[in-house]
C-alpha cells in the first residue's frame, strides 16, 4: 500500500494499528458503501471545508468530507485539520477524493475561538513537537509564552521555545533566562534566520518523520524560520514595523510542508488571541509544575495562594525566587480553563437535548 510514501508522510506501525482498528469499527452500511475502497491519507492543506490530501502512492487529491461523516461532526474540532490522517475514497481520474472519517488523533493543538463562543479552534493535528516562536525584541512577553506552553502540553506535543532574531539581540542570555523561567524544563533554542546561527541545533531536534507545528504571534519570524528550515522560500514573509516591532499576518492558512531531513512542518497564522480550551488540567500542571509542586507544601490543601497563613507559594515569592506575575498568570489561566469547561458542558447538554449524537469518527 505504498508504505514508502506513507512513511515519508509520518506513517508508522502505530498508525497502521490505528487504521486497522478504525476499519474494523465501520458499521455494515459503511462497509458496503466503500467496499474496501478506503485508503489512509494525510491532510496537507485545509481551506474552510476543502482539503488537499496525500495518499499512499504519493498522489495528492482535492477532497471533501462525505455527507455521512458531516452528520457526525457536531463541533469545529471534529472536522479534519492540517496534520490529520483520514480515511479517503479516491477518484484518481478526477484528482479528487471523499473523506469518510478522521483517524483518532495522537495530539491536538487547539485554542479557544476568538470571541465569546466556548468552542475550540484546531491549530494543528498530530504534531509531535510544538515550536513556540517569539523574537528577542521588545515584543517578547513571558506571560504569552506561559499560555503557549500550557496549550502545547495540553495538546500532547512536546513544547520547545525558539527565540528568533538572535542577530538583533543585545543580551540573548537575558531572553533565554526569561524563557526558561516562563517554561521550566522546556528546551530553548536561539536562532537567526538571517545569519543561520542556531539552525543546525534546531534541525537536529527534528527527527525524520516528526511533525512540527510553529506557533506564535504575528511578526516574530515564524514564516522566515519555516523557510530556513524548509530550505527555500516556501512561505511569504513581511517586515515588521520598526516603531514597535509589531508584525502583520504573513501566513494566512495552515499547511503541512516537508523539511530538509525528513520532518514535516505546519506553519500557522500569527495568533493575537491565545485563549484556553476546555481540555484536561494536564497542560497547566505541566506548564506550571513549579507552582503546583510548591502548593503541595502549603498548610491548607485548598490554599488559594492569597493571604492564607502557611502558603508555601507566597513564601517563595517573598524570597524573590518566584515572580508574582507567574502566580497571577497561573491563576488567570485556571479561571479561563474552568470557565471553558463549564461552557462546554452547557453546549454538550444542549446538543443532547436536541437529540444530537456524540461524534463517532470510526463511522
Residue numbers belonging to the annotated binding site for Zn(2+): 298, 303, 305, 311
Radius of gyration of the chain (CA): 22
- 228: Cβ contacts below 8 Å, ≥ 6 apart: 191, 193, 196, 199
**Sequence ranges of the binding site:** 164-167, 216-224, 298, 303, 305, 311
| Burial of residue 160, with CB atoms counted within 10 A of its CB: 0-12 exposed, 13-18 middle, 19 or more buried | buried
**Sequence ranges of the binding site for GTP:** 164-167, 216-224
Can you tell me the distance from the alpha carbon of 338 to that of 106, in angstroms, rounded to the nearest whole number? 24
CB 100 within 8 A of CB 87: yes
Joined together, the cell numbers standing for residue 340 give 471553558
Cα 314 to chain centroid distance, Å, stands at 33
CB 10 within 8 A of CB 54: no
Can you tell me the distance from the alpha carbon of 124 to that of 254, in angstroms, rounded to the nearest whole number? 8
Joined together, the cell numbers standing for residue 193 give 534566520
Residue 335 is inside which H or E element, if any? Answer: helix 324-353
Amino acid at each position: 500500500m505504498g508504505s514508502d510514501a506513507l512513511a515519508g508522510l509520518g506513517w508508522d506501525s502505530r498508525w497502521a494499528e490505528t487504521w486497522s482498528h478504525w476499519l474494523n469499527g465501520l458499521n455494515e452500511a459503511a462497509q458496503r458503501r466503500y467496499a474496501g475502497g478506503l485508503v489512509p491519507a494525510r491532510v496537507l492543506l485545509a481551506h474552510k471545508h476543502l482539503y488537499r490530501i496525500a495518499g499512499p502512492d504519493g498522489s495528492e487529491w482535492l477532497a471533501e468530507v462525505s455527507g455521512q461523516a458531516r452528520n457526525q461532526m457536531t463541533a469545529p474540532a471534529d472536522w479534519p485539520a492540517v496534520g490529520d490522517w483520514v480515511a479517503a475514497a479516491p477518484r484518481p481520474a478526477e484528482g479528487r477524493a471523499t473523506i469518510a472519517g478522521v483517524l483518532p488523533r495522537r495530539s491536538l493543538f487547539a485554542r479557544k475561538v476568538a470571541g465569546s463562543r466556548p468552542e475550540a479552534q484546531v491549530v494543528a493535528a498530530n504534531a509531535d513537537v510544538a515550536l513556540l516562536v517569539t523574537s528577542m525584541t521588545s515584543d517578547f512577553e513571558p506571560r504569552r509564552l506561559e499560555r503557549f506552553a500550557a496549550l502545547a502540553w495540553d495538546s500532547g506535543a512536546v513544547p520547545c521555545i525558539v527565540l528568533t532574531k538572535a542577530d538583533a539581540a543585545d543580551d540573548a542570555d537575558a531572553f533565554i533566562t526569561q524563557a526558561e523561567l516562563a517554561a521550566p524544563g522546556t528546551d530553548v533554542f536561539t536562532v537567526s534566520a538571517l545569519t543561520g546561527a542556531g539552525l543546525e541545533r534546531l534541525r537536529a531536534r527534528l527527527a525524520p518523520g516528526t511533525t512540527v507545528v510553529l506557533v506564535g504571534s504575528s511578526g516574530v519570524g515564524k514564516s522566515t524560520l519555516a523557510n530556513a528550515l524548509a530550505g527555500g522560500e516556501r512561505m511569504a514573509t513581511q517586515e515588521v514595523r520598526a516603531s514597535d516591532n509589531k508584525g502583520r499576518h504573513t501566513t494566512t492558512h495552515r499547511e503541512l510542508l516537508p523539511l530538509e531531513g525528513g520532518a514535516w512542518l505546519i506553519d500557522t497564522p500569527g495568533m493575537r488571541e491565545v485563549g484556553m480550551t476546555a481540555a484536561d488540567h494536564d497542560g497547566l500542571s505541566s506548564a506550571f509544575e513549579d507552582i503546583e509542586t510548591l502548593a503541595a507544601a502549603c498548610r491548607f490543601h485548598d490554599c488559594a495562594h492569597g493571604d492564607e497563613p502557611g502558603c508555601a507559594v507566597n513564601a517563595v515569592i517573598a524570597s524573590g525566587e518566584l515572580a508574582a506575575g507567574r502566580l497571577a498568570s497561573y491563576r488567570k489561566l485556571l479561571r479561563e480553563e474552568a470557565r471553558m469547561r463549564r461552557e462546554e458542558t452547557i453546549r454538550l447538554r444542549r446538543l443532547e437535548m436536541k437529540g444530537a449524537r456524540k461524534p463517532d469518527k470510526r463511522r
